[in-house]
Structure 1
Amino acid sequence: MNYLLNVVWGALAAWFFVGLFLGIARRRGWGQTVRKDGPQTHLLKQGTPTMGGAPFVVALLFVWIINYLQPGIGAVKSQEVVLILSIVLMGIIGLIDDYMIVRAKLTGAAERGGLMARYKIALQITVGLAFGIASARLAHPTTMDWVFWWDLIFNTFVMVGAVNAFNFTDGVDGLCAGVTLIIILPLIGVSPVVAIMAGCIIGYLWYNWKPASIFMGDVGSHALGALAAGAYVLYDHTWLLPIAGIVPVMEILSVSLQVAYFRQTGGKRIFKMTPIHHHFELSGWQEGKVAGRFFAITAVCTALAWGLLGKVQ
């Protein structure tokens, strides 16, 4: 039952840290910049505090460290160390991007700010490669044959792809957090990090449910993407991730297809707007309906992924 306690402590810690951060962000004006070409209902969100992923990552670290300071817990598994480092390092990349955007807004810079795309992807690949090396070595501790190198390259791709897919999923109140929570549920009894982060997501959703009082920013979506990818890879369920994570897969595919089609046709579009959750918003779905239906799709696909393969923990 320790995993249930981890969920509870994660939820309480995140509720406290996110609430504390929210007050600071409001006083300092760390507000979100909203796309003017997006759904008009989102213009009301201009200035809502952002970077809310930072305090729930801090909450994760706080509970995880306290957990392993207790006597009798035993050694920390290598998988858990790799997982939490991946979450923190990817979160830092997102935090840098968020901070640069907020700073540009506060200083009145003409440009939106943020990390340039090429630098952002370079940093993601660097962290992803470190994860790929660590995960491949854990799976193949004594060999460096072609399977080791395949796992290294493939796991790097999974990590970088997931981080960007979950980043695109963030854009509707509660959507990215709720989808991630459903995807990781089958692993909360296996990984203490997953259990704690499940609680942290619940604590964060207290403030992020529509109408959101705070947004997670790239720091949060990067951390959640690293969490999902890392947990599924490190606990040998990689091939279940694209099924359970069908919503993030749809989100990143919609962007890729839109860009490719736009370039090939000289300006035509497949969707009204991407990522695809915005397409449904512009088609008349309210935010709550988009989030609710995407949650339902994720729940069905996660159940199918784990149930059909007989791997429910």
Structure 2
Amino acid sequence: MMVVAALVSWFLVGLLITLSKRYGWGQPIRQEGPQTHLKKEGTPTAGGIGFVLALLLVWLGMLLTGHGGGRSETLLMLAALGMGVIGLVDDLLKIRSRMVGGKKELLAREKFPAQLLVGLAFAIFAAPLAPHVWLPGLGLYGDIVLYTLVMVGAVNAFNFTDGLDSLLGGVSIIVLLPLLGVSPVSVLLVGALLGFLWFNAHPARVFMGDMGSHAIGAVAAGAYILHADVWMLPVAAIIPVVAVLSVVLQVAYFRRTGGKRLFRMSPIQHHFEELGWPETHVTLRFWLVTALGTAIVWGLLRTFPPMS
């Protein structure tokens, strides 16, 4: 089914690119971002709509044939769709603002409560299904809090990892590799991302957008919670963790020092671009770091399988 997901994604993302060019649904580029990115102005965006839709359609087909994966995979898919809808609203606002003006994006104070709500709904149903009880003294209530924070944190971390051609797509595929034997949704997402990367390879013909990054973060967090070990997620997803930490540290340092910067630019991938690394070098080296982290997780899962 991975191949089917890849082909459906390839078709839908290609269709989205065609429609985007016809109607002018291009990505606005921040003037304060890396100057090398200014030439990307107008590139079709929200490619995540195509591969998330492919993920959903193929999963529904599997569900109808009795191969959808049960309650855990249904919960995982619902979390991906819930977070994806939040990202979709953000994508549509960006597209609309470039075409006719108006509000440019969801503000953090608007986006974060919605993410918390979806994360909490996921956590309530995930806690009884997860292989571990992490906070015995608090029981499921403690795990609900933990899983909510992990879900919201992962969604934002994967979102901050986007911004370079193929970076987030490649990182996400690698992070999900240890789960392909136990999570059908992860299998389908990897396939859908392969179809998307056909067009997102440098120089990208389409950008992912927030719908895609939000859905990926939800699947990664949910799959590690439900099928593996929640503490292994930040090891495999070391690049998203570093990306979100770089933003937090940059903001904190900027405020503490009255305007000084800890990094040349955040998230961290843009810092390395400002140091002179070509975009393709940053992407490949971040993939390699992710592969090392995921290899560690793979070894740990084989040595210490999740408790039943």
Aligned positions of 1:16-55 closer than 5 A: 16-55=11-50
Contact 2:69 2:184 in 1 (8 A): no
Alpha-carbon deviation of 1:37? 1.1
Alpha-carbon deviation of 1:184? 0.1
Residue 67 of structure 1: aligned partner: 62
Q: Specify the SS of the correspondent of 1:274.
A: coil
Q: Specify the SS of the correspondent of 1:299.
A: helix
Cα gap change, 1:10 to 1:45, in 2 (>3 Å): same
Alpha-carbon deviation of 1:139? 3.7
Cα gap change, 1:76 to 1:292, in 2 (>3 Å): closer
Q: Specify the SS of the correspondent of 1:138.
A: coil
Alpha-carbon deviation of 1:75? 7.1
Q: Which of 49, 71, 77 is the equivalent residue of 1:84?
A: 77
Asked if residue 201 in structure 1 is aligned to residue 193 in structure 2, the reply is yes
Contact 2:75 2:122 in 1 (8 A): yes
Taking structure 2 as the reference length, the TM-score comes to 0.94
Residue 100 of structure 2: aligned partner: 107
Aligned positions of 1:266-305 closer than 5 A: 266-305=258-297
Alpha-carbon deviation of 1:163? 0.3
Separation in 1, partners of 2:304, 2:36:
40
Taking structure 1 as the reference length, the TM-score comes to 0.93
Q: How many residues align?
A: 302
Cα gap change, 1:74 to 1:108, in 2 (>3 Å): closer
Gaps of 5+ in 1: 1-5
Cα gap change, 1:170 to 1:311, in 2 (>3 Å): farther
Alpha-carbon deviation of 1:311? 5.0
Contact 1:306 1:312 in 2 (8 A): no
Report sequence identity in percent: 52
Separation in 1, partners of 2:193, 2:108:
27
Aligned positions of 1:181-192 closer than 5 A: 181-192=173-184
Q: CA RMSD in A?
A: 1.8
Residue 3 of structure 1: aligned partner: none
Alpha-carbon deviation of 1:102? 1.0
Residue 117 of structure 2: aligned partner: 126
Residue 140 of structure 2: aligned partner: 148
Residue 96 of structure 1: aligned partner: 89
Alpha-carbon deviation of 1:236? 3.3
Alpha-carbon deviation of 1:137? 2.9
Contact 1:30 1:50 in 2 (8 A): yes
- CA offsets per residue over residues 231-270 of structure 1, 9 Å max, x none? 1001132111000000000000000001001101101111
Alpha-carbon deviation of 1:67? 1.6
Q: Specify the SS of the correspondent of 1:206.
A: helix
Asked if residue 231 in structure 1 is aligned to residue 223 in structure 2, the reply is yes
Separation in 2, partners of 1:20, 1:139:
38
Contact 1:165 1:252 in 2 (8 A): yes
Gaps of 5+ in 2: none
Alpha-carbon deviation of 1:108? 3.1
